[in-house]
């Protein structure tokens, strides 16, 4: 009959009620077990098991099948049972901590790891006496290695049935229930327990007498565990997938096994057995609970899965009972109203009809009472299963079990919120947020995300959110696992949608969109696509926060907005939306600068402010809310150009809301730059597909791919044409403020992707170019050293101008004329300033010099000699000699580099016609005549280092030495480029000219000057690292003048100082190695350079290893090339091939493997 007060499951400790305290969210603290100290081996802090037995279990015989588990263990040889249990050595050194985020205390609950992982024991070879070795081998051959080889093994019929896809699970469950209820319940129970054991791979089976006494279940399962550990063959059917097993019949076994448990309770509910037979659920829980306390993970996993499934099924049954109660209650209310109507009616109504209706009502009331009692009865089981299984297993040492627990808890809340949507259940999500396993944290967040997306449940999570949202915010900032971090951000997005976040909390998350690879909190180790996906989700979060503010404003000012729409030509609501968005973007960047930005200067272009804001803007613009089906681009342009001062009748509060302040304009202009990048880059930009999404049918149909790409090209050109048409006006409006850098960056983006030509907007390009060139003329630009201060340089307008002049098309006559005028003005200003011993105009000359501006090179060539003559005076008399010298040396380097590139291109053309050596020498004299005074000037700057008694400006000497190495290396690169049979005549001419006229080989004295610079840099690094160096007798340097305590050493950050010193030394070493490779430095200098490499740093060792490897490769290549030449020559002589063909073949062989004209000799340079 129906049990009204079910007995408590004995597996739960006596003080289980203490665990479920009345407080809403309490912290697990004190004892490692929140229940008490009497927990069994099912907990992480459980007693040790019998793990790691080295002997294997022989196949069980037919006689053993009749013995009890205890008798079988007693009958086992002593060698097969350890005298005392031992822990898993792999797990014993680790503790698992679960920390609840609590404002009251920071208690941590730690659990010792007594779990024995399910793995085959490691086989250690032991030396045995000779007399035993042969016997041992014989015994090992007899041990079964597969379940099919176990003698007289009788398979469990439930397991066997569920191993097949054709089994009718409902019939199987009905058959088992019939045997349990009407036949031998212990025989049925034995079969079910054996099924659980077989489901996790255990071949040891129980007999009927083993399951008669439920109170000895734990002892019996402990004995089974011993046999299971000594089992030879292990394969867990519940863990089998299509990828990890050859047993095809077990691929879907887990699903069928759980379906069987589900059907077992459903059929029992339908037949009434669930309520009539008190022992059914109690006996199942007694044995499954005992198995769940095992030290072996497969046993715990199997029992936990089945118990969790029982809870899930019971939830669904309770839901159906609730629906039945509600249905009968509605019917009862209807019938009672009918009865009252009949009683009040004046017409004659037979007593029989009234009596029949009363009986019907009574029957309904009885049904309601029965259903309510059944519901209450099942709810006691729900509590029992939760208390005895979930409350222990949610903190199991196995992360898979913890994941299963939290996954099922979310399912229960969804199925039966009236029961499980309570603080005592929801708090488990918060407790597992700090799980040490990333997969568990990810699973918790996935399930939380489901809860927050449930419309009827999400609002009721306010109390949980208030308690744990600070932990979620910490996780989204510092979480190292990408999947956990992404799901955490999704959860916070849902929380933001419900309005549960304060402004100071949301800004911590929105500002993460600006975190880059050079910041300390940047999560490294993932792929670039993952970082992009995270940034996309952040953009969604920002849109949610902005939408909350926007909606509140629109609702409170809607009447004013509607009445003012006729006064403004633009959409007022869209203007308000973008104003709120850029304000949030600005506030987020300010918070980022204060709290997340690294104190170190940025060295990557994509991490400068303009590009960071543009990158965030790209993600935001890809959202439908901000692109409005690509119509927002034109609106933003019009908003930036909109003159609000002409509108006088507009409401003052509304006017202040849409009026753009200076910073608002800068951020909106930057936002426009980001949106433009998506359109300009097209399909190469990952966000382009969000602006022009393809339908699923289009994605599958590759036949029309070309047509679709062509249509995308037309669409993006159409939208960009509106921007480009108004770009001159935008540039005009922002040419005198900080917006000039954004204007140039936006123009460069369009130029680099050839969008002016694609949109047929060349006239707009000419106007924009003229405006920027005019602005460049009027600008007073300060020199920024791109090497010494890279961060400042890439964030400056100088960098944007440099890219602009390099991107200008050469085919536009109008632009060419403007550039020529600029060149002439620049050279005249340089000449005029030089007479006053000033070289300030060199800043603009450096930015203008590029491969497309050969005319400027020709103009300034005449000024090289007078500049070199005054070089020392120009530097020494300046207030900032280092900056002046850096500007002068960069001018030299840029001039020579561009000149050599022009020289190479001209000689390639010359080689294709009749070669005239006299003309070639004249051409070299014209192009390279300034090389000699530059080299001479640089050597003068190096000469002060000759005096060992005088302290010098090392920064100045180092800059000169670096410039000298770069120029000499570039010249020798040109020689190497023509060092092929095809250009042998050109190489001969160039080599002779350089030897006679320029003298590019470093003299002995010059080599010693370079070596002294190296020795000083080496000494400073060694002093910082406190390393003793080997010295040579010939070293004539007073190192006492260059101690780092005077110039470099900083007590605040010594590691940064060491890193900078090491980087500086390595860069200079690479340049010297390059000179050595091209024959400029002697072997003696090279040996000294490598003398202390091993003592200074691993990087220095790698440099010399690469140099040596490259040298060996070149020797091999040269020998192979000579061999090929000899073979080719013999073949040509035999086949009487003409001489021109021979040259052609040799040229092909010698240039094989070159990339874009880069000689293999430059491999060391390219490496660094």
- Give the Cα separation of 593 and 589 in Å (integer): 6
- Give the Cα separation of 59 and 152 in Å (integer): 8
pLDDT for 814: 92
pTM of the predicted protein model: 0.79
- Give the Cα separation of 306 and 214 in Å (integer): 18
Strands 108-112 and 95-99, by their bridges, are antiparallel
Q: Which of 72-76, 149-153, 678-682 has the highest mean pLDDT?
A: 678-682
321 pLDDT band, cuts 50/70/90, is very high
Q: Give 903-957 as a DSSP string.
A: HHHHHHHHHTS---HHHHHHHHHHHHTTHHHHHHHHHHHHGGGG-TTS---HHHH
Go through 427-463 and write b for each residue having 16 or more CB atoms within 10 A of its CB, e for each that does not: bbbbbbbbbebbebbbbbbbbbbbbbebeebbeebee
pLDDT for 242: 59
- What percent of the chain has pLDDT above 70? 78
Q: Give 648-714 as a DSSP string.
A: -SS-HHHHHHH---HHHHHHHHHHHHHHHHHHHHGGGSTTHHHHSPPPHHHHH--TTHHHHHHHHHH
535 touches 615 (CB < 8 A): yes
849 touches 895 (CB < 8 A): yes
CB neighbours of 89 closer than 8 A, spacing ≥ 6?
A: 52
- What are the CA-CA distances from residue 609 to residues 63, 616, 805, 1070 (Å)? 81, 11, 22, 32
- Give the Cα separation of 281 and 291 in Å (integer): 15
Tell me the two tokens of residue 191: 């079969």
CB neighbours of 140 closer than 8 A, spacing ≥ 6?
A: none
pLDDT for 150: 63
CB neighbours of 34 closer than 8 A, spacing ≥ 6?
A: 19, 28, 109
- Give the Cα separation of 231 and 53 in Å (integer): 10
Q: How many CB atoms lie within 10 A of CB 141?
A: 7
According to DSSP, the residues that pair with 98 across neighbouring strands are: 109
Go through 374-410 and write b for each residue having 16 or more CB atoms within 10 A of its CB, e for each that does not: bbebbbbbbbbbbbbbbbbbbbbbbbbbbbbbbebbb
SS3 for 91-134, per residue?
A: CCCCEEEEECCCCCCCCEEEEECCCECCCCCCCCCCCCCHHHHH
Helices 881-911 + 984-993 axis angle, to 10:
140
Residue 504 CA to chain centroid, in angstroms? 26
Q: Is the pLDDT of residue 86 over 80?
A: no
Q: Give 711-736 as a DSSP string.
A: HHHHHHHHHHHHHHHHHHHHHHHTTT
Q: Is the pLDDT of residue 1166 over 50?
A: no
pLDDT tens per residue across span 512-547 = 999 998 888 887 655 667 888 999 999 999 999 999
Tell me the two tokens of residue 138: 């014989």
What's the number of CA atoms in the CB half-sphere (13 Å) around residue 1159? 17
- Give the Cα separation of 62 and 75 in Å (integer): 14
287 touches 293 (CB < 8 A): no
Secondary structure letter of residue 1155 according to DSSP: B
Ranking 118-132, 187-201, 726-740, 800-814 by mean pLDDT, the lowest is: 118-132
Report the Cα–Cα distance between both ends of the chain, in Å, rounded.
Answer: 85
Q: 403, 69, 463, 352: which is closest to 228 by C-alpha?
A: 69
Tell me the two tokens of residue 328: 């009968």
Helix (H) or strand (E) run with residue 555 in it? helix 528-564
- Give the Cα separation of 574 and 581 in Å (integer): 10
Q: Is the pLDDT of residue 290 over 70?
A: yes
89 pLDDT band, cuts 50/70/90, is very low
The strand ranges marked E within 991-1144 are none
Q: Is the pLDDT of residue 109 over 50?
A: no
Residue range 416-435: average pLDDT? 93
Q: What is the dihedral of CA 1076, 1078, 1080, 1084, to 10 degrees?
A: 30
Q: Give 392-459 as a DSSP string.
A: HHTT-SSHHHHHHHHHHHHHHHHH-HHHH-SHHHHHHHHHGGG-SSHHHHHHHHHHHHHHHT-HHHHG
Ranking 10-24, 214-228, 492-506 by mean pLDDT, the lowest is: 10-24
- Give the Cα separation of 973 and 41 in Å (integer): 74
Q: How many CB atoms lie within 10 A of CB 595?
A: 12
Q: Is the pLDDT of residue 571 over 90?
A: yes
- What percent of the chain has pLDDT above 90? 45
- Give the Cα separation of 446 and 407 in Å (integer): 9
211 touches 287 (CB < 8 A): yes
- Give the Cα separation of 961 and 684 in Å (integer): 42
Name the more confident of 706 and 613. 613
- Give the Cα separation of 213 and 1131 in Å (integer): 96
Angular region, 1157: left φ>0, alpha ψ -120 to 50, beta rest: left
Ranking 376-390, 626-640, 1041-1055 by mean pLDDT, the lowest is: 1041-1055
Residue range 973-991: average pLDDT? 83
Residue range 177-204: average pLDDT? 90
Tell me the two tokens of residue 712: 């995308």
Q: Is the pLDDT of residue 1026 over 70?
A: yes
Residue range 606-623: average pLDDT? 95
Q: Is the pLDDT of residue 366 over 60?
A: yes
932 touches 998 (CB < 8 A): yes
245 pLDDT band, cuts 50/70/90, is low
pLDDT for 232: 77
Q: Is the pLDDT of residue 65 over 80?
A: no
Q: Is the pLDDT of residue 600 over 80?
A: yes
- What are the CA-CA distances from residue 548 to residues 493, 499, 503, 576, 587 (Å)? 12, 8, 11, 13, 16
Q: Is the pLDDT of residue 236 over 60?
A: yes
Residue 177 CA to chain centroid, in angstroms? 52
109 touches 28 (CB < 8 A): yes
Tell me the two tokens of residue 226: 């011993």
pLDDT for 1000: 67
> Collapsing DSSP states into helix, strand and coil, what is residue 50?
strand
71 pLDDT band, cuts 50/70/90, is low
- Give the Cα separation of 1005 and 261 in Å (integer): 91
> Collapsing DSSP states into helix, strand and coil, what is residue 1158?
strand
Q: Is the pLDDT of residue 176 over 90?
A: yes
Residue range 616-645: average pLDDT? 95
Torsion sign (Cα): 1079, 1082, 1083, 1086:
negative
Mean pLDDT of the chain: 80
Secondary structure letter of residue 86 according to DSSP: B
Q: Is the pLDDT of residue 48 over 70?
A: no
110 touches 40 (CB < 8 A): no
> Collapsing DSSP states into helix, strand and coil, what is residue 1112?
helix
> Collapsing DSSP states into helix, strand and coil, what is residue 355?
helix
């Amino acid at each position: 009959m129906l049990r009204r007060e079910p007995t408590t499951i004995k597996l739960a400790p006596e003080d289980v009620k203490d665990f479920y305290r009345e407080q809403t969210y309490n912290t697990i603290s004190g004892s490692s077990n929140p229940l008490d100290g009497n927990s069994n081996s099912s907990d992480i802090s459980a007693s040790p098991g019998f793990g790691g037995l080295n002997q294997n279990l022989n196949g069980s015989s037919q006689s053993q099948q009749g013995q009890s588990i205890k008798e079988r263990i007693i009958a086992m040889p002593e060698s097969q049972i350890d005298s005392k249990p031992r822990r898993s050595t792999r797990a014993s050194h680790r503790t698992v901590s679960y920390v609840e985020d609590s404002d009251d205390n920071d208690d941590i609950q730690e659990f010792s790891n007594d779990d024995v992982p399910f793995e085959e024991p490691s086989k250690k070879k032991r030396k045995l006496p000779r007399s035993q070795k042969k016997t041992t081998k014989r015994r090992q051959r007899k041990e079964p290695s597969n379940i099919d080889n176990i003698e007289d093994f009788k398979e469990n019929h439930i397991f066997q049935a569920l191993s097949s896809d054709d089994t009718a699970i409902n019939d199987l469950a009905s058959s088992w229930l019939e045997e349990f209820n009407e036949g031998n319940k212990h025989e049925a129970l034995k079969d079910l327990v054996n099924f659980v054991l077989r489901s996790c791979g255990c071949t040891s089976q129980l007999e009927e007498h083993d399951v008669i006494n439920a109170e000895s279940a734990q002892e019996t399962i402990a004995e089974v565990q011993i046999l299971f550990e000594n089992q030879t063959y292990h394969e867990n059917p519940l863990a089998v997938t299509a990828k990890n097993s050859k047993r095809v019949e077990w691929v879907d076994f887990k699903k069928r096994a759980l379906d069987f448990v589900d059907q077992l309770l459903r059929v029992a509910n339908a037949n009434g057995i669930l309520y009539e037979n008190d022992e059914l659920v109690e006996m199942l829980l007694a044995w499954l609970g005992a198995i769940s306390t095992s030290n072996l993970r497969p046993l715990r996993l199997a029992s936990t899965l089945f118990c969790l499934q029982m809870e899930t099924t019971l939830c669904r049954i309770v839901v159906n009972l609730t629906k039945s109660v509600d249905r009968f209650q509605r019917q009862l209310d209807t019938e009672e109203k009918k009865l009252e109507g009949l009683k009040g009616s004046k017409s004659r109504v037979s007593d029989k009809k009234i009596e029949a209706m009363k009986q019907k009502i009574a029957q309904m009331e009885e049904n309601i009472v029965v259903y309510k009692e059944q519901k209450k009865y099942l709810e006691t089981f729900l509590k029992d299963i939760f208390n005895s299984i979930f409350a222990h297993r949610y903190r199991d040492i196995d992360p898979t079990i913890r994941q299963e627990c939290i996954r099922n808890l979310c399912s229960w809340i969804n199925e039966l919120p009236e029961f499980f949507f309570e603080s005592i259940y929801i708090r488990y999500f918060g407790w597992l947020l700090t799980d040490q396993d990333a997969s568990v944290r990810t699973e918790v967040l996935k399930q939380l995300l489901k809860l927050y997306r449930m419309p009827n449940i999400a609002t009721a999570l306010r109390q949980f959110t208030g308690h744990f949202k600070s932990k979620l915010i910490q996780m989204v900032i510092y979480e190292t696992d990408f999947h956990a971090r992404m799901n955490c951000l999704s959860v916070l997005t849902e929380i933001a949608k419900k309005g549960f976040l304060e402004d100071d909390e949301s800004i911590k998350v929105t500002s993460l969109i600006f975190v880059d690879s050079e910041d300390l909190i940047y999560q490294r180790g993932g792929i670039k696509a993952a970082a992009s996906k995270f940034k996309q989700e952040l953009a969604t979060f920002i849109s949610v926060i902005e939408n909350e503010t926007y909606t509140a404003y629109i609702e409170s000012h809607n009447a004013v907005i509607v009445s003012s729409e006729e006064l403004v030509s633009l959409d007022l609501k869209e203007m308000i939306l973008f104003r709120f968005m850029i304000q949030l973007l600005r506030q987020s960047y300010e918070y980022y600068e204060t709290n997340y930005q690294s104190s170190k200067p940025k060295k990557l272009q994509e991490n400068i402010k303009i590009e960071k804001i543009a990158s965030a803007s790209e993600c935001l613009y890809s959202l439908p809310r901000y692109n409005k089906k690509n119509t927002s681009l034109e609106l933003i342009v019009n908003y930036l150009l909109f003159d609000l001062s002409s509108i006088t009748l507009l409401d003052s509060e509304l006017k202040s809301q849409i009026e753009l302040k200076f910073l608002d304009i800068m951020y909106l202009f930057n936002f426009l730059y980001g949106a433009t990048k998506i359109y300009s880059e097209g399909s190469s930009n990952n966000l382009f597909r969000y602006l022009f999404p393809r339908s699923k049918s289009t994605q599958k149909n590759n036949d029309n791919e070309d047509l679709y790409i062509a249509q995308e090209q037309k669409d993006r050109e159409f939208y960009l044409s509106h921007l480009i048409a108004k770009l001159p006006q935008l540039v005009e409006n922002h040419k005198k403020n900080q917006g000039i850098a954004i204007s140039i960056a936006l123009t460069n983006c369009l130029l680099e992707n050839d969008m002016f030509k694609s949109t047929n907007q060349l006239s707009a390009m000419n106007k924009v170019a003229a405006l920027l060139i005019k602005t460049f003329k009027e600008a007073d630009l300060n020199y920024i050293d791109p090497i010494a201060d890279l961060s400042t340089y890439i964030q400056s307008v100088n960098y944007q101008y440099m890219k602009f002049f390099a991107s200008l098309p050469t085919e536009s006559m109008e632009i060419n004329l403007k550039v020529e005028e600029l060149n002439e003005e620049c050279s005249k200003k340089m000449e005029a300033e030089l007479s006053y011993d000033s070289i300030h105009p060199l800043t603009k000359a450096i930015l203008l010099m590029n491969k497309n501006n050969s005319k400027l090179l020709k103009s300034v060539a005449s000024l090289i000699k007078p500049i070199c003559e005054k070089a020392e005076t120009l530097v020494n008399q300046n207030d900032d000699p280092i900056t002046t010298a850096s500007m002068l040396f960069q001018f030299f380097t840029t001039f020579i580099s561009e000149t050599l590139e022009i020289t190479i291109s001209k000689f390639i053309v010359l080689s294709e016609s009749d070669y005239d050596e006299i003309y070639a020498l004249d051409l070299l004299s014209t192009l390279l005549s300034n090389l000699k005074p530059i080299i001479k000037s640089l050597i003068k700057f190096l000469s002060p280092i000759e005096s060992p008694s005088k302290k010098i400006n090392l920064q100045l000497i180092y800059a000169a030495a670096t410039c000298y190495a770069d120029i000499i290396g570039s010249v020798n690169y040109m020689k190497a480029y023509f060092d092929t049979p095809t250009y042998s005549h050109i190489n001969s001419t160039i080599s002779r000219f350089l030897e006679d006229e320029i003298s590019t080989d470093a003299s002995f004295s010059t080599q010693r000057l370079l070596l002294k610079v190296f020795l000083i840099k080496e000494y400073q690094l060694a002093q910082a690292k406190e390393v003793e160096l080997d010295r040579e007798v010939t070293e004539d340097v007073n190192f006492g003048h260059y101690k780092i305590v005077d110039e470099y050493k900083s007590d605040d950050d010594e590691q940064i100082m060491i890193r900078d010193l090491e980087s500086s030394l390595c860069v200079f070493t690479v340049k010297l190695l390059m000179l050595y490779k091209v024959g400029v430095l002697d072997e003696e200098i090279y040996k000294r350079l490598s003398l202390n490499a091993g003592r200074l740093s691993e990087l220095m060792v790698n440099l010399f290893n690469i140099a040596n490897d490259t040298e060996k490769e070149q020797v091999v290549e040269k020998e192979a090339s000579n061999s090929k030449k000899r073979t080719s020559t013999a073949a040509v002589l035999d086949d009487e091939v003409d001489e021109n063909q021979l040259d052609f073949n040799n040229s092909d062989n010698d240039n094989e493997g070159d990339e874009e004209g880069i000689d293999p000799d430059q491999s060391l340079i390219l490496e660094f």
